[in-house]
Amino acid sequence: FTVRPEAPTSFPRMDTSLNSIGLYYSTSTGNTETVAGYISTAVGVEAEEIGNVSGDEIMQHEAIIVGAPTWHTGADEQRSGTEWDQWLYSTLPKLDMTGKKVAIFGVGDQESYGDNFCDAAGELFDLFQARGAEMKYGHTSQEGYNHNESKAVRGDKFCGLMCDEDNQYDLSEDRVKNWVSQLKKEGFM
Ligand SMILES: Cc1cc2nc3c(=O)[nH]c(=O)nc-3n(C[C@H](O)[C@H](O)[C@H](O)COP(=O)(O)O)c2cc1C
C-alpha cells in the first residue's frame, strides 16, 4: 500500500459540477434557513444568506437556487421582508443572468395567508427572468397544498418548490428530496 506523505485536513471538492451550483436564501425567523439546509444536504453545496454575498460571487455559478419567505402580504414589490428586498432591486438589476439556470423555492404559510401563499417566490421568479435567466427548472404541482391564491403560480404549477414550515413542516424534507431529483432529471445540475 502507499502512504500519503501528509494527510490533508480537508479535501478539496472533487466534483467540479457541484462547484457550479450556488444556493442562496434569506430568513426572518429561520424557516427558510431550515429548508435551505435540506436543499444543501440534498445537493451537496453550502447555503448562504443573500445579504452576505456579492453579485460577482453569484455570477461564478452556472446554476443558482434561490429561496425566500413571504412577510409583506399582498405587496407588489419587496414581498419577502428580508434582505432579498434590497438585493433584488439594487444588485440584481446590474447582473446579466443570460444563460444562467435559476431554480426557486419559497417558504410561506398556506393556512393563515392562503390568498398570498409564497408570493415572494413569484417575485424572485419574475425578476430573475427579467435579467435573462432560464427559469424552466423545478416547477411543481400545486397538489397537496391548501392555498386559494399564490403569486408563485405560473400556468397551473408553482414556479418552484414551495414549503410550509408552519403547517406542513413534516413534508419539507421529502419535498426537497423529490425536487432535487427533479432538478437533476431536468438537467439543472
Ligand atoms: C406578519 C406576517 C405576514 C406573513 N405573510 C405571509 C404571506 O403573505 N404569505 C405567506 O405565504 N406567508 C406569510 N407569512 C408566513 C411566513 O412567510 C412563514 O412563517 C415563513 O415560514 C417565515 O419564514 P422565515 O422564518 O424564513 O422568515 C407571514 C407571517 C407573518 C407573521
Atom of ligand 1 nearest to the CA of 27: 26
169 inside domain? yes
| CA nearest neighbour of 118 among 144, 147, 92, 89 | 147
Comparing 14-28, 128-142, 148-162, which segment has the lowest mean pLDDT? Answer: 14-28
Do 158 and 122 meet the contact criterion of CB atoms below 8 Å apart?
no
Arithmetic mean of pLDDT, 109-125: 98
pLDDT value at residue 43? 98
Does position 26 have pLDDT exceeding 50, yes or no? yes
Domain, as residue range, for 70: 19-182
Q: How many Å apart are CA 179 and CA 160, to the nearest integer? A: 9
87 inside domain? yes
Number of structural domains the chain divides into: 1
- Does 85 sit in the ligand 1 pocket, CB within 6 Å? no
Arithmetic mean of pLDDT, 53-81: 97
pLDDT value at residue 44? 96
- All cell numbers assigned to 59: 455570477
Nearest CA to ligand 1 atom 4: 71
Half-sphere exposure of 153 (CA within 13 A, CB side): 14
pLDDT value at residue 14? 43
pLDDT value at residue 5? 55
10 inside domain? no
- Does 71 sit in the ligand 1 pocket, CB within 6 Å? yes
User: How remote is the CA of residue 65 from the centroid of ligand 1, in Å?
Assistant: 20
Q: How many Å apart are CA 79 and CA 69, to the nearest integer? A: 8
Arithmetic mean of pLDDT, 92-103: 97
Arithmetic mean of pLDDT, 101-118: 98
Arithmetic mean of pLDDT, 57-75: 97
> What CATH number did the domain enclosing 31 receive?
3.40.50.360
pLDDT value at residue 16? 46
Nearest CA to ligand 1 atom 31: 71
55 inside domain? yes
Q: pLDDT tier at 94 (50, 70, 90 boundaries)?
A: very high
44 inside domain? yes
4 inside domain? no
| CA nearest neighbour of 65 among 45, 87, 85 | 45
Nearest CA to ligand 1 atom 29: 71
Does position 157 have pLDDT exceeding 70, yes or no? yes
Q: In the chain, pLDDT over 70 holds for what percent of residues?
A: 90
Does position 15 have pLDDT exceeding 70, yes or no? no
Half-sphere exposure of 139 (CA within 13 A, CB side): 13
* 33-51 per-position pLDDT tens digit: 999 999 999 999 999 999 9
166 inside domain? yes
Arithmetic mean of pLDDT, 89-109: 98
9 inside domain? no
Q: pLDDT tier at 9 (50, 70, 90 boundaries)?
A: low
